[in-house]
Structure 1
Amino acid sequence: MNDRDAPGGRPGGIEIDFRQVFQALPSPVLLLGPDLVMIDANRAYVAVSGRGVDELRGRMIFDVFPDNPDGRTKGARSLRASLERVLATGERDSMALQKYDVEVPGRPGVFAERYWSPVNIPVLDDEGRVVLVVHRVEEVTALVNAQAAAAAGPGGVLSRKDAMAADLLTRSLELQEINEELRTAHARTHQVAVILQRAMLPGTALPHPFAAVRYRPAAGFLNVCGDWYDLFDLGTDRLAAAVGDVVGHGLEAAGVMGQLRSALCAAVRATGRPAAALTTLAQHAHTVEGALATTVVQAVIDRAGRTITYSRAGHPPPLLARPDGGVDVLDAVVDPPLGAGDDTLPRTQATVPYPAGSTLVLYSDGLIERRDEDIDLGLRRLCDSVGRHHALGPEQLADAVLADLLPDSPDGPGGLGGLDGLDGLDGPDDDTALVVIRL
């Protein structure tokens, strides 16, 4: 009988009792649910924690292991931050040395000084959701105390190896404290950028009944970027639509985005011509720190004359899907990004006719650009997707395009799509803005 024929599908017919394996692990291991309630602990964890299994199971970890009220330790806060990162990202988080005092069993309010080296590991279901967190710790209290004894006087001398290890642990603790401070500062910056970005992008009350917009933030904790979109009426029969992309991430990029979007909106309202509006915007960009190298596409739709006039500043070309499913790439004109050429020169524009029932698609490069891949491949994928789904309504078409090109970051129907999830962590490496207009 070969290994495949073994009972239970195990090589050699060996059935593995994973509960026994869990209990036999030499490292202390605690299993937590997504609500941070303790599910089980192995023997090593029970021994090092001084708590019986019945004292652990079914209880919130921080109810059993609170911070020392003397205020000199931040173990619980640091551990909570690590566990929440694991739940949010689905990725393991290795913590540096932690001073996390533990209440002495049978002596309420009395805490023993303890030092730990923890790592938190997610267990994911088939859909990538965290269903369990494996919290593994190694206690290093004895080593830290030995270092302290050695530093106190000649009577407590460590071996060279132990002294080096203890010194590394001390440096790890210092780095952990600095890291937590940086994470807190970055979290505040990210939150402000998210609020700013939400405030500056248009809401769901679109001026055109046959239009849909989607905004998908970049993946990653701090990747609030500078993409923007705009859509508004220029009188009874004319509609302005734009998508722009500021270089950079974070609060600065979001602020630059807001300034450029407002300036372009004012310029196109004043001139009514995409090229004139981008000429004005390019000159204005020189007065806005961080605005140079921004790309923009501005289109003006004449619904009475059934024409689209557009101008591009280094931005990916709009797509025009005809009622028969054919897709035209509107790339007849393109000028350099803002600040990348002579911005005293007038920008160019082109006008194309369209048949009733066509669809105009504007987007940012996050939709088609991938690392280690020619951007033309992404553009072809987008054209294929728009052509396949051209008969859908704008809302359904926008969702279908995102599902085809960004399959790892599903979007909900309607509204601004991913805008409410600006602080999400799954998705592309760059922002994605998408505007779909049925003409």
Structure 2
Amino acid sequence: MTEPEIDYRAAFRAAPTPLALLTTELRFVDVTDAYLEVAGRPREQVIGRLAYEAFPDQPDSERPSGVRRLRQSMERVLATRRRDVMAVQRYDVEPEEGAGRWEERYFSIVNAPVLGPDGEVRLLLNRLEEVTRLVRTKGGGAGGGRDGARGRDGKRGGGRGREDRRPTAGGARLESDLLARADELQHTNERLREAHSRERHVAMELQQAMLPTPDLLAPRDAAVRYQPASATMNVCGDWYDLIDVDALHSSVVVGDVVGHGLEAAGVMGQLRSALSALARAATPPAEALNILDLYSRSVPGAESTTAVKIHVDWSASRLVYSSAGHLPPLLARLDGTVELLDRATNPPLGLLPEGGGTIEDSVAFEPGDVLVVYTDGLVERRDEDIDRGLARLADSLASHRTAPAEELAEALLADLLPPEGTEDDTVLVVLRLDRDDTG
């Protein structure tokens, strides 16, 4: 039995919910019939027009600008790619464009992004729910539109079949209190968003300052990536370090601090600096993690941090590695097989055996093999087992293993990260193990 063809535009317009689709310039491209009914406008007066042109504020109104707040909400959605729920808003609506008559109406509004295949916002979905009747009921039967204006049906009161009732003193006070509380909530939300935006900016600047470019003596084929989480403050827990100790030895380090925000950024900076110093002193991986573990016990917030350190011996074509609770690095072979480097996994920092006991292991590599080290944001998803993410990464690495490091890094991110982003940071280090790079 074949599935019937679906006219999605017709289905959208027939939806019983007031919905509108707008471009990123905030221009209407389609609306449901229910939206037009609530707005009291024919389709031709809406489609193709900017939101603030189709539904402007009442001229010379002393009320806070509902149109301005709607525009700010939509701009937040464009900037964050996340849904924005507005507090109950009062709008003075002109049911018939140009008639000069305005109705006092109340709406609950949600704006949501419609993402394209690349994860960028392509359209905005605007959902209206009129709560005028509810507000007036709670307000003790407040009357109709401003100055007794007639509604869409020609009756006074601005509502379909509604009687012209003057508000009682108690009802007017309750209505005024409700609007004041909604207005206060809206301002509070805006201040919180601004504060979060400032803190995120500071955290991102700090993150970038503490994640240096690779310090390589030889022209190695390498790439590093840091992808912040999509949530407002989910940044600054992950770090990497890629350096040449000398012409024949390199060090690769990736770590992940528990937590997010500025506090995690501070912890990350201390641990990264300490482990980078140990790497430059050519400290073997297991011993370096032992020393870092002792140091971490004096750093508040460092407990349960994961880290992996890999020592690359170019002359012996060998990797020596040790992990403190971190996800296993991957080694892609020329023949297409992908090996998990998981034979030297120890507990996270703060839980390593005191006085030593950290294990390390080694593995040989061939020219053209590729080493990939990463953090959990690349492979972990809330609704699936971690093994599925690791298998997905291994498959992607096997498919793209012959690409240069920069192209390979981009391909892995494209294959592994969902368009809407992730709830955790992602760090990725790619190093092609070509001995000829040493010259």
Is 1:82 aligned to residue 64 of structure 2? no
Which amino acid in the other structure matches residue 126 of structure 2? Answer: H
Distance 2:116 2:400 in 1: 31
Is 1:203 aligned to residue 213 of structure 2? yes
Q: Say if 2:204 and 2:236, in contact at 8 Å, map to a contact too.
A: no
Q: Say if 2:237 and 2:256, in contact at 8 Å, map to a contact too.
A: yes
Distance 1:43 1:374 in 2: 43
Give the alignment's TM-score, normalised by structure 1: 0.74
Distance 1:365 1:3 in 2: 42
Which amino acid in the other structure matches residue 32 of structure 1? Answer: L
Distance 1:133 1:389 in 2: 35
CA gap of 1:142–1:322, structure 2 versus 1, over 3 A, is closer
Report SS of the residue matched to 1:248: coil
Give the alignment's TM-score, normalised by structure 2: 0.74
Which amino acid in the other structure matches residue 276 of structure 1? Answer: E
- Which of 407, 428, 436 aligns to 1:434? It is 428
Report SS of the residue matched to 1:266: helix
Q: Corresponding residue for 2:196?
A: 186
Report SS of the residue matched to 1:247: coil
- Which of 371, 378, 388 aligns to 1:367? It is 378
Post-superposition Cα deviations, 1:29-60, rounded to whole Å, max 9, x if no partner, equal 66532101345778987898799988866554
Distance 1:202 1:16 in 2: 49
Displacement of 1:172 in angstroms is 4.9
Is 1:331 aligned to residue 342 of structure 2? yes
Distance 2:382 2:37 in 1: 49
Distance 1:217 1:315 in 2: 19
Q: Corresponding residue for 2:22?
A: 32
Displacement of 1:430 in angstroms is 2.4
- How do residues 50-199 of structure 1 correspond to structure 2 at under 5 angstroms? 60-62=50-52, 65=56, 73=64, 75-88=66-79, 92-100=83-91, 115-122=106-113, 130-138=121-129, 155-156=168-169, 172-199=182-209
CA gap of 1:386–1:167, structure 2 versus 1, over 3 A, is same
Q: Say if 1:231 and 1:240, in contact at 8 Å, map to a contact too.
A: yes
Distance 1:122 1:327 in 2: 38
Is 1:306 aligned to residue 297 of structure 2? no
CA gap of 1:204–1:58, structure 2 versus 1, over 3 A, is farther
- Which protein, 1 or 2, shows the higher relative CO under an 8 Å CA cutoff with sep ≥ 6? 1
Distance 1:137 1:40 in 2: 14
Distance 2:36 2:16 in 1: 12
CA gap of 1:230–1:100, structure 2 versus 1, over 3 A, is farther
Report SS of the residue matched to 1:189: helix
Q: Say if 1:143 and 1:166, in contact at 8 Å, map to a contact too.
A: no
Q: Corresponding residue for 2:301?
A: 290
Which amino acid in the other structure matches residue 366 of structure 1? Answer: G
CA gap of 1:69–1:276, structure 2 versus 1, over 3 A, is farther
Q: Say if 1:96 and 1:172, in contact at 8 Å, map to a contact too.
A: yes
Displacement of 1:313 in angstroms is 0.9
CA gap of 1:303–1:72, structure 2 versus 1, over 3 A, is farther
Distance 1:107 1:243 in 2: 65
Post-superposition Cα deviations, 1:247-277, rounded to whole Å, max 9, x if no partner, equal 1122222222222111211122134322232
Distance 2:70 2:240 in 1: 39
Q: Corresponding residue for 2:237?
A: 226
Distance 1:401 1:257 in 2: 25
Distance 1:17 1:186 in 2: 38
CA gap of 1:319–1:117, structure 2 versus 1, over 3 A, is closer
Distance 1:351 1:26 in 2: 63
Q: Say if 1:276 and 1:346, in contact at 8 Å, map to a contact too.
A: no
Displacement of 1:300 in angstroms is 1.5
Displacement of 1:156 in angstroms is 3.8
Displacement of 1:386 in angstroms is 3.0
Q: Say if 2:381 and 2:389, in contact at 8 Å, map to a contact too.
A: yes
Displacement of 1:211 in angstroms is 1.1
Higher mean alpha-carbon deviation, 86-95 vs 215-224, is at 86-95
Count of aligned positions: 407
- How do residues 260-271 of structure 1 correspond to structure 2 at under 5 angstroms? 260-271=271-282
CA gap of 1:359–1:119, structure 2 versus 1, over 3 A, is closer
Q: Corresponding residue for 2:246?
A: 235
Q: Say if 2:139 and 2:171, in contact at 8 Å, map to a contact too.
A: no
Higher mean alpha-carbon deviation, 41-50 vs 376-385, is at 41-50
Report SS of the residue matched to 2:238: strand
- Which of 371, 378, 383 aligns to 2:394? It is 383
Q: Corresponding residue for 1:252?
A: 263
Higher mean alpha-carbon deviation, 141-150 vs 340-349, is at 141-150
Q: Say if 1:97 and 1:116, in contact at 8 Å, map to a contact too.
A: yes
Q: Say if 2:374 and 2:428, in contact at 8 Å, map to a contact too.
A: yes
Post-superposition Cα deviations, 1:299-339, rounded to whole Å, max 9, x if no partner, equal 12121222222221111222233333333332332222111
**Structure 2: any 5+ residue segments left out of the alignment?**
143-165, 434-439
Post-superposition Cα deviations, 1:398-425, rounded to whole Å, max 9, x if no partner, equal 333334433x24xxxxxxxxxxxxxxxx
Which amino acid in the other structure matches residue 201 of structure 2? Answer: Q
Q: Say if 2:20 and 2:30, in contact at 8 Å, map to a contact too.
A: yes
**Structure 1: any 5+ residue segments left out of the alignment?**
410-425
Q: Say if 2:214 and 2:242, in contact at 8 Å, map to a contact too.
A: no
Post-superposition Cα deviations, 1:180-218, rounded to whole Å, max 9, x if no partner, equal 332222222222212221222123776542112222332
Displacement of 1:81 in angstroms is 3.2
Report SS of the residue matched to 2:373: strand
